[in-house]
A and B are shown apart, each in its own frame.
Chain A
């Protein structure tokens, strides 16, 4: 039995993308339990070794002409069909056509991604419109979750993106977002400042 085939079997069988370190741990664990001489060699398998094997696996697949390739997502490795086969797959299973998010949904999602954790009120101040509907939708899709409450009057909910968001958009970490450095930092109106910002309030403050 070859290591490269074990790695392939693991990536194939895993229901979720699997990282090279997870693979290394699983192989070591099983090899140690088995105690065979060949398996003994793999008992101390390193993540680096697994990564080299994965690279080889990917290359073999890429050169084989087969319609499947090995892809690394934010949570790990997975097999995927090549893009050019998408239409054929959808012809077979129409429900597998991905429902792309609408621009307002994407924009709401983007605000959360760049500014998390963020309250609904702060999202609405920037968008200038209620986000109930789209927020509900992106939460239903598992792209966004509640991550606590803000230390503000009313203790409003704080929203964050999920791991599924990262997988879905191929985002390794938040700095991997387009134009992350600027958009994560630029000053935006918030629900609190827009209440303070009206002239009457400011005058009152100055009087105090």
Chain B
């Protein structure tokens, strides 16, 4: 994918069988520094536009998201594949200059560590007191399964909430309406879905062989104005259409960031067609 450049894969380092969890921490440091390297061509990095987006999802949420999208069996995940995908997402967040909790990097390091262990023939693997199971993936899988159970229970509670929300009394519970910062995204879609959609746009741009026109002065506020102009209140557009006619990667990035800002400010809401995966934006009518 795009700039993922899996030469970033630090697992080639510790593969000599001397990985330990403390190496994982060193790897995390590497990952963090590495990102500065290949993103300097992005206007988002030159005048670093910081999207003040609080990510409420954690690394386990991202892993489960990847597993679900890939439709793989959680008991038999390909560590190589999931690590690659995971790192690609971390890369994209960095490209967009969206801050991620340190835990995301710790998980990245953990994935690389597990991957390196899996690459070694069993008799060469160093004894690791922390891992009883022969399968180096096991601890992580166990963690994911337990976490998923809570997610499922939470979703089930959410369904109950929805059903009960259809029943009204004449003494209603306090009518709560969330403030703008909290109602950032719609219910159906999370930040990973948006990142994934953005990655697809980036991929198509790179594959399209469009030469980059480097004369590129778009800023995020330019694009905010642009988006507000082309999408009137009450109107809906497809996510992909926002990027029509874009002529550089930098422009793609600032367009996406502008969209995120407008969602945060509650001008736009997003929804995703569950079967086709297409994302739509709708401009809110503010009365």
Given A81-B167, A99-B177, verify A183-B21 contact (CB < 8 Å). Answer: no
Segment touching A, from B1-9, B178-186, B229-237, B258-266: B178-186
State which residues 97-123 of A face B: CB under 8 Å: 98-107, 109-111, 113-114
Nearest chain B residue, comparing its CB with the CB of A93: B175
State which residues 107-150 of A face B: CB under 8 Å: 107, 109-111, 113-114, 126-131, 133-134, 137, 140-142
Determine how close the nearest CB of chain B comes to the CB of A108; give it in whole angstroms. 8
Segment touching A, from B69-77, B82-90, B144-152: B144-152
* B182 x A137 contact (CB < 8 A): yes
Given A99-B183, A170-B160, verify A109-B154 contact (CB < 8 Å). Answer: yes
Partner of B153, one of A104, A142, A164, A178: A178
* B153 x A183 contact (CB < 8 A): yes
- Chain B residues near A86 (CB, 8 Å)? 165-168
**Which residue among A78, A129, A142 has the maximum number of chain B CB atoms within 10 Å of its CB?**
A129
Q: Which bucket holds chain B's interface residue count?
A: 35 or more
State which residues 133-187 of A face B: CB under 8 Å: 133-134, 137, 140-142, 164, 167-171, 177-179, 182-183, 186
- Chain A residues near B14 (CB, 8 Å)? none
Given A100-B161, A100-B187, A133-B56, verify A79-B149 contact (CB < 8 Å). Answer: no
A95 within 8 A of B: yes
* A178 x B156 contact (CB < 8 A): yes
A55 vs B20: C-alpha distance in the bound complex, in angstroms?
A: 65
Given A86-B168, A107-B150, A110-B154, verify A169-B175 contact (CB < 8 Å). Answer: no
Determine how close the nearest CB of chain B comes to the CB of A140; give it in whole angstroms. 7
* A169 x B56 contact (CB < 8 A): no
- Chain A residues near B152 (CB, 8 Å)? 178-179
A81 vs B21: C-alpha distance in the bound complex, in angstroms?
A: 57
Partner of A169, one of B161, B183, B187: B161
* A101 x B161 contact (CB < 8 A): yes
B10 within 8 A of A: no
- Chain B residues near A167 (CB, 8 Å)? 173
B242 within 8 A of A: no
Determine how close the nearest CB of chain A comes to the CB of B103; give it in whole angstroms. 4
- Chain A residues near B175 (CB, 8 Å)? 95-96
Determine how close the nearest CB of chain A comes to the CB of B180; give it in whole angstroms. 13
Nearest chain B residue, comparing its CB with the CB of A83: B166
* A16 x B171 contact (CB < 8 A): yes
- Chain B residues near A80 (CB, 8 Å)? 167-169
A71 within 8 A of B: yes
- Chain B residues near A78 (CB, 8 Å)? 169
- Chain B residues near A177 (CB, 8 Å)? 153, 157
Partner of A96, one of B107, B155, B168: B168
Determine how close the nearest CB of chain B comes to the CB of A204; give it in whole angstroms. 14
A15 within 8 A of B: yes
* B130 x A199 contact (CB < 8 A): yes
B120 within 8 A of A: no
A188 within 8 A of B: yes
* B165 x A98 contact (CB < 8 A): yes
B214 within 8 A of A: no
A188 vs B187: C-alpha distance in the bound complex, in angstroms?
A: 28
B164 within 8 A of A: yes
Determine how close the nearest CB of chain B comes to the CB of A62; give it in whole angstroms. 14
B18 within 8 A of A: no
Complex A-B: 10 CB contacts under 8 Å: A80-B168, A83-B166, A100-B162, A102-B56, A128-B58, A128-B101, A130-B101, A133-B56, A177-B157, A186-B149
Residues of A within 8 A of B (CB): 12, 15-16, 71, 78-83, 85-86, 89, 95-96, 98-107, 109-111, 113-114, 126-131, 133-134, 137, 140-142, 164, 167-171, 177-179, 182-183, 186, 188-189, 198-200, 202
A-B contact sample (15 more), CB < 8 A, given A16-B171, A106-B161, A179-B153: A12-B170, A85-B168, A86-B167, A102-B187, A103-B155, A106-B155, A106-B158, A109-B154, A128-B59, A129-B59, A133-B54, A133-B182, A169-B160, A169-B161, A177-B153
